[in-house]
Structure 1
Amino acid sequence: MIGTALRGIFTLPDLRKRVLITFALLAVSRIGFWITVPGVNYDVIEEIAGRQAGTWIDFIGIVTGGRLTNASIFSLGVMPYISASIIFTMLVKLVPSLERLQKEGPQGYRKIQQYERYATVLICIIQSSFIVAWMTSVTAGNERLVPNATFSFRLMAIVSMTAGTVFLMWLGEQITEFGIGNGISLLIMNGIVARMPGKFSMFISNIARAVRQGVNPAKEVTELAIFVLLFVGIVAFVVLITQGQRRIPVQQQKQTRGRRVYGGMRYYLPLRVNQGGVMPIIFAQAILMLPIAIISSIPGLQSIRFWFNYGTFWYIFAYVLLILFFEYFWTALVFNPIEMANQLQEHGNFIPGIRPGRRTAEMLEYILNRVALAGGTFVAFIAIVPQIVSSLMGYDIFLATILGGTGILIVVGVALEFVQRVEAQLLAREYEGFMRKPMRGR
Structure 2
Amino acid sequence: LTAVIPQLGRLAREDGGRQKIMQLTRYATVGLCIFQGYLLALSFQHPESYHTMLPGIMDTIRNVGIPLVDDLGWKFRIVTVVSLTTGTLLLMWMGDQITERGIGNGISLIITVGIVARLPAALAQAWKTFVPSAQTGSSQVNPMVLVLLVLFLIIVIAAVITITQGVRKITVQYAKRVVGRKMYGGQTQYMPLKVNYAGVMPIIFAWALLLFPATIVQYGFKGSPMANRIAGALSTGWPHYVALAAMIFFFSYFWVATQFQPTQIADDLKKYGGYIPGVRPGKPTADFLDFTMTRLTFAGAVFLTLIAVLPSLLSQGLNVPMITAQFFGGTSLLIIVGVMLDTMRQVETHLIQRHYDGFLRKGRIRGRAFGAGAYSRGESVASGTLMWLYVGIAVIVIAGVAIFFYGR
Question: Would you say the 8 A contact 2:122–2:324 is kept in 1?
Answer: yes
1:376 and 2:376 aligned: no
CA distance, structure 2, for counterparts of residue 219 and residue 287 of structure 1: 34
Shift of 1:278: 1.1
- Identical positions, percent: 39
Residue of structure 1 equivalent to 2:31: 122
| C-alpha contact (below 8 Å) 1:431/1:438 kept by paired residues | no
CA distance in 2, matches of 1:164, 1:219: 39
Aligned to 2:406: none
User: Shift of residue 392 of structure 1?
Assistant: 4.3
Q: Does 1:178 align with 2:104?
A: no
The answer to whether the 8 Å contact 2:197/2:297 transfers is yes
Counterparts of 1:25-36 in structure 2 under 5 Å? Answer: none
Number of the residue aligned with 2:165: 243
Alignment correspondent of 2:346: 421
Q: Secondary structure at the match of 1:300?
A: helix
1:355-386: CA deviation from partner (whole Å, max 9, x where unpaired): 22211111111011001001101101111212
Q: Structure 2 residue aligned with 1:138, among 32, 47, 61?
A: 47
Rounded Cα–Cα distance in structure 1 between residues aligned with 2:316 and 2:296:
30
SS in 1 for 2:169: strand
Q: Identify the match of residue 154 of structure 1 among 77, 93, 101.
A: 77
2:204 aligned with 1:282: yes
Instruction: Look up the equivalent residue of 1:303 and give its one-letter code.
Output: R
User: How far has the Cα of 1:206 moved from its partner?
Assistant: 4.3
Q: CA deviation at 1:317?
A: 2.0
Q: Which has the higher contact order (CA 8 A, sep 6+)?
A: 1
Q: Could you tell me which residue of structure 1 aligns to residue 229 of structure 2?
A: 303
- SS of equivalent to 2:177: strand
Residue by residue over 1:226-262, the C-alpha shift from the partner in whole angstroms, topping out at 9 and shown as x without a partner, is 2222222211110011000011111223222223211
Q: Which amino acid aligns with 1:413?
A: G
Task: Say how many residue pairs are matched.
Answer: 349
Q: 2:12 aligns to what?
A: 102
> 1:295·1:301 contact (CA, 8 Å) conserved in 2?
yes
Match of 2:266 in 1: 341
**Deviation digits for residues 74-132 of structure 1 (CA, Å, limit 9, x no counterpart):** xxxxxxxxxxxxxxxx2x11333321222246x32222212211221222222212112
Mapped to 1, the partners of 2:130 and 2:290 lie a distance apart of 54
Deviations, residues 396-431 of structure 1 (Å, cap 9, x unaligned): 344322211111001111011111111111122222
2: distance between equivalents of 1:422 and 1:408?
A: 21
Does structure 2 conserve the Cα–Cα contact (< 8 Å) formed by 1:138 and 1:144?
A: no
Q: 1:390 to 1:208 in 2, by over 3 A?
A: closer
Distance in 2 separating the partners of 1:398 and 1:99: 40
Residues in 2 aligned to 1:127 and 1:206: alpha-carbon distance in whole angstroms: 34
Paired with 2:338 and 2:277, the residues of 1 have a C-alpha distance of: 33
State the Cα distance separating 1:301 from its structure 2 match.
4.0
Q: Which range is displaced more, 170-179 or 299-308? A: 299-308
Partner of 1:111: 20
Q: Secondary structure at the match of 1:277?
A: coil
The 5 Å alignment of 1:22-421 reads: 90=1, 92-104=2-14, 107-138=16-47, 140=61, 143-206=66-129, 210-213=133-136, 215=137, 221-294=143-216, 297=221, 298-310=224-236, 312-421=237-346
Give the deviation of 1:441 after TM superposition: 2.8
Query: Partner letter of residue 317 of structure 1?
Result: V
Contact 2:210 2:235 (8 Å CA) reproduced:
no
Shift of 1:351: 1.7
Question: Which residue identity lines up with residue 358 of structure 2 in the other structure?
Answer: G
Query: Is the 8 Å Cα contact of residues 165 and 194 (structure 2) preserved in structure 1?
Result: yes
| Preserved CA contact (<8 Å) 1:273 1:371 | yes
Does structure 1 retain, via aligned residues, the 8 Å contact 2:172–2:275?
yes
How far the C-alpha of 1:304 sits from its partner, in A, is 2.6
Q: Is the 8 A contact 1:320 1:380 kept in 2?
A: yes
Partners of 1:110 and 1:285 in 2: how far apart? Answer: 29
| Matches of 2:4 and 2:226, distance apart in 1 | 39
Letter in 2 for 1:98: L
| Larger-gyration structure (1/2) | 2
User: Are 1:430 and 1:438, in contact at CA under 8 Å, matched by a contact in 2?
Assistant: no
Gapped regions of structure 1 (runs ≥ 5):
1-89
* Superposed CA offset, 1:261-311 (max 9, x none): 11222211111111111111112112222224535844534433454441x
Q: Equivalent residue for 1:40?
A: none
Measure how far apart 1:153 and its partner are.
3.2
- Name the CA distance, whole Å, in 1 between partners of 2:34 and 2:141: 49
8 Å CA contact 1:211–1:217 kept in 2: the answer is: no
SS at match of 1:431: coil
Instruction: Name stretches of at least 5 consecutive residues in structure 2 with no aligned partner.
Output: 49-60, 368-408
Distance 1:153 1:295, change over 3 A: closer
CA distance, structure 2, for counterparts of residue 344 and residue 389 of structure 1: 47
Cα distance, 1:346 vs. partner?
2.5
In structure 2, distance between residues paired with 1:418 and 1:184 = 12
Q: Which moved more, 1:338-347 or 1:297-306?
A: 297-306
SS in structure 2 at match of 1:247: strand
Q: Is the 8 A contact 1:253 1:263 kept in 2?
A: yes
Secondary structure at the aligned position of 2:190 is classed as strand
For residues 218 and 304 of structure 1, what CA distance do their matches in structure 2 show?
33
